[in-house]
Amino acid sequence: MTSVEVTTTHLRENPYELAREQLSRVASIFEIDPNLVEVLGRCKKAIEVSIPVAMDDGTTQVFIGYRVTHNIARGPSKGGIRYHPDVTVDEVRALAMWMTWKCALMGIPFGGAKGGIACDPKKMSRHELEGMTRRFTSEIINEIGPEKDIPAPDVGTDGSTMAWIFDTYSMNKGHSVLGVVTGKPLTIGGSLGREEATSRGALFCLRDAVAKLDKSLAGQKVVVQGFGNVGSYLAQFLHQEGSIVVGISDSTTALYNPKGIDIPAAFAHKRETRSLAGVKDAEVITDAELLELDCDILAPCALEQVITEQNADRIKASIICEGANGPVTPSGDAILEDRGVLILPDVLANAGGVVVSYFEWVQGLQEYFWKEVEVNAKLNDIMSKAFDETWETAQSRKLPMRVAAYGLAVERVAEATLTRGIYP
C-alpha cells in the first residue's frame, strides 16, 4: 500500500491567505463590522479523509481528500469537487470562501463549500476513478446532502463523477436523492444547459461589459487560456458572436494565429484526441507567451494565480474575464488596476455554473424539469442583474469591479449573519 504525496504546486502564494486578505480589504472599504469579518474569515468546517483505492495493477494507493464548508448563513453550502495533483486544504478553503461570495452576489440561497482529492485523474483509468470517487463519497456521506451540502463538478471532474456520487449516496440512503449533487448527466436528473452554463454566464458578462464601453463582441481579439469545459465553450460562444479567437491553450499545448483559430475544428480535435496538440493552422507557443499576446480580451479559464506581479505589466488585454477561480493574484490585480485594465472578477464572471446548478437542484427537488431556453433565459436575467449591480456600485463608489462585487457579496452574507444571530 502506498500513499500519494504531492511535492510540487502551481500556487505561488497561499490561496486561503489571499482570500482572507481580499475579505479584509473589502470589509474596510464597505465598513463591515470587524467582529463579523472575524466570523466570515473562517471556514465553518474542514474535513480531511483517507481514500484507499485498489488500482488496476493490483496495488493499493491511498489518496487524501477534503471537503470544506465556509458559510451557511444564506442556505445549504454548495461547491465543486476538484481532482488535481496540487489540491491542498488551503486551496479548498479559499475556493469555498469564494463560492460563498459568488452565491451571495448572484442572489441564490446557498453558502460556499468546496472539495477535492490530491490525484492526477489523467493518469488513472475510469475504473480507478470510479473506485476513488465512491470511497470518497462514503467517507464524506454524513457531510453532504440536498439540504446540507451539494457538490458539483470542478477541475478534473465531470458528469460521470457526479453520477457515481449520486448513486453511492442514494444506495446508502435506500432511495434516489436527485438533489445531492448537481452537474449530473441528463439521464439521471441533470439540467439542460448545465454543461455550458459557466461559459454562457461569462459570455453574458462580457457582452454587458463591452456594451458599457459602447462596443460589441464582434471583431474583438480574444485569448482563452484553458480549453476544458469552461474555456472550450467560451471560445465557441465568442467565435459564434464574431470575436476573433487568436490564442487558446490546454494543459499541454498553447496555440496562436493572429488571423483567428478555427475554433469549431479545435473543439472537435480536443474532443477526439483529448489534446490541442496537432490543431492545424496555428503556431505552437508557450503558456507565458499566450497570456501576453496582443488582444482585446483575455479569459484565463484554467487554474489559480496565472497572472501575478511578475507578468501583469506585460498583459496587453484591456479586459480580463476570469473564467477560472482566482487566476489573478492581489499584487497582479494592483498592477492591472493602475494600468486601467477592466477585470471581470471570478465571483461574477464564472458564476453561471453555480446559478444553473441552483436551477438543477430546484428541478431535482420538484422532480419537474425545464426547457433549455428557460434555463438560459433565467441565467441571463440573474447574470445581467448581478453585472448591473456590480457596475453601478463600481461607478458610484469609484471602485474596481472586483472590490465592488466582493463588497456587495460580503454585505449580503454579513446581513444574513446578523439577521440570524450567533447561536447560542
Backbone angles phi and psi of 244, in degrees to 5: -105, 105
Name the 3-class secondary structure at 76.
Answer: coil
C-alpha span between 117 and 81 (Å, rounded): 8
| 38: Cβ contacts below 8 Å, ≥ 6 apart | none
Structure letter (DSSP) for residue 74: T
**Three-state SS annotation for 125-160:** CHHHHHHHHHHHHHHHCCCCECCCEEEEECCCCCHH
Amino acid at 290: L
Residue 364 burial class via C-beta count within 10 angstroms: exposed 0-12, middle 13-18, buried 19 and up? buried
Classify the C-alpha dihedral 323-329-330-334 as positive or negative.
negative
Classify the C-alpha dihedral 385-73-325-395 as positive or negative.
positive
Contact 74, 358 (CB under 8 A): no
Spot the catalytic one: 78, 102, 114, 184.
114
Q: In the annotation, is 378 catalytic? A: no
C-alpha span between 94 and 415 (Å, rounded): 21
Could you give the C-alpha distances from 94 to 46, 68, 136, 317, 357, in angstroms and in order?
11, 9, 21, 27, 20
Grid cell locating 164: 457515481
Q: How many CB atoms lie within 10 A of CB 104?
A: 29
Q: In what order do the strands lie in the sheet with 283-285?
A: 283-285, 254-256, 244-249, 221-225, 297-300, 319-321, 342-344
C-alpha span between 240 and 409 (Å, rounded): 32
Contact 75, 387 (CB under 8 A): no
Classify the C-alpha dihedral 109-49-173-133 as positive or negative.
positive
Which residues form the catalytic set?
Answer: 114
